[in-house]
Amino acid sequence: MKMNDDDSAFLRKLGTKATRKLKAQRQGKPRVLSGLGLLGIVGWSIAVPVLLGLVLGWWLDQCCPGRFVWTLNLLMVGLLLGCINVVFWVRKEYQAMHDEQDDKEQPHD
């Protein structure tokens, strides 16, 4: 029985996933400290823009009082920017991790 290109591509993908799973089992569970480090990075990625928005808003409220509450508005803008920052960072890291694994596991001709 002759295999077509779709079958061989499927088998390669299946082999890659199986190899990745076996490698993860051999390495064991991730360490607690690395998880805490990741949480710290995510937390600071949100906290810094929020604090900057808060300080800038407070300064604008003191400097230019008006009908807008700059502190609250810029705090929300900082939160939004921090969340967007985290989403982009996590996507980039996730993609880099999978690209690195795929590069290591593919046979070189």
Domain ranges of the chain: 8-95
**What is the predicted pLDDT for the residue at 50?**
95
Judge whether 44 and 78 are in contact, CB under 8 Å.
no
CA distances from 19 to 7, 15, 83 (A): 18, 6, 34
Residues 49-55 have a mean pLDDT of: 95
Give dist(CA 80, CA 76) in Å, integer.
6
- Dihedral angle sign, alpha carbons of residues 95, 97, 101, 103: positive
Band (70; pLDDT cuts 50, 70, 90): very high
Please check the confidence at residue 109 and state whether its pLDDT lies above 90: no
Give dist(CA 13, CA 18) in Å, integer.
9
Residues 39-47 have a mean pLDDT of: 84
pTM of the full predicted structure?
Answer: 0.58
Burial letters for 62-86: b for 16+ Cβ neighbours within 10 Å, e otherwise? eeeeeeeebbeebbebbbebbeeeb
